[in-house]
Chain A
């Protein structure tokens, strides 16, 4: 007995594009005839379903599309916000940051303090080495000496 028809050959018979010998086999084979009927029923079923049934995807697809658009809009909004914030922060930092001036001011202040200390007889070295209370007492005594008109030589009189 000749081998039964493959699915593709069976389908070609259904399409009217099979060879004569395949069609002849189908007529004489109960199994292939049953399979052919099954194929025919399936195609009817599929065709009817596609013709009659509304698309299951349309609404869900539109909803999905809306969701993606919303998500993309939110992400874009956050991106814009972050970008704007970054630009503003950079500009405000450039305006506010006084670091170079502060350094110059601090240096000049230190110079002035050093000059003041050296002119008042307290050397920077003594300030660093000695006890702070001793230095303060020494400076106070010098000031009181200068304020005393007698001890100061009566310069202010």
Chain B
């Protein structure tokens, strides 16, 4: 990278960070189930972007590129032996299903319901989490999700429907137990 393009590239990266960091951290949190790890992954992605770039700023779909790289980074992290081990051995009682900070009754019920859904989401398979997060949280089309994850559209629909079914079940359960909704 020469002296002229470097500052331009740095400014471009900063703009990308401001624009996409929050979204990528949220995506990482949903896929990994950990806010801190999601932040680390997002920082890794942007560091990779800054370090590996070599050439002029070309107009590409940065949102899709960053999403794809983030998903791959989350997969790498998930494949790490200790991470998988710690998740497998996590005791169910360690799940915090209640937001203890909320004091009003309704807010507590809502927080509990949200926490239950979030906990149910973490019980989905990694693939189902990825597919659901990209389709419903990131708002991608089924076709785009299939392209990002290197899956067929039929496979994406199958994972997506299973995830929706499971999460609706968890939502109904949370509603019946907490009198919510």
Contacts and interface: CB of A to CB of B under 8 A. Distances in A.
Are these two chains actual partners, yes or no?
A: yes
Interface of A: 7-8, 11-12, 15, 17, 39, 42-43, 45-65, 68
B171 A15 contact: no
Q: How large is the interface on B (under 10, 10 to 19, 20 to 34, 35 or more residues)?
A: 35 or more
A59 B98 CA distance: 13
Contacts of A7: 165
B137 A65 contact: no
27 contacts: A7-B165, A11-B164, A15-B160, A17-B142, A39-B168, A42-B167, A42-B168, A42-B171, A45-B117, A45-B171, A46-B136, A46-B167, A46-B171, A47-B137, A48-B114, A49-B117, A50-B117, A50-B136, A50-B137, A52-B114, A55-B118, A55-B122, A56-B95, A57-B33, A57-B95, A61-B94, A64-B86
Contact of A53 (B118, B136, B160, B161): B118
Given A47-B136, A60-B94, A53 B111 contact: yes
B155 interface: no
Interface of B: 26, 29-30, 33-37, 86-87, 89-91, 94-97, 111, 113-115, 117-119, 121-122, 133, 136-137, 142, 157, 160-161, 164-165, 167-168, 171, 181
A56 B115 contact: yes
B34 A56 contact: no
Contact of A65 (B86, B118, B121): B86
B136 A61 contact: no
Nearest to A57: B33
Given A45-B181, A49-B113, A64-B91, A56 B171 contact: no
A56 B118 contact: yes
B133 to A, nearest CB: 8
B30 A53 contact: no
A41 to B, nearest CB: 9
B171 A57 contact: no
Nearest to A11: B161
Given A15-B142, A45-B171, A49-B114, A64 B29 contact: no
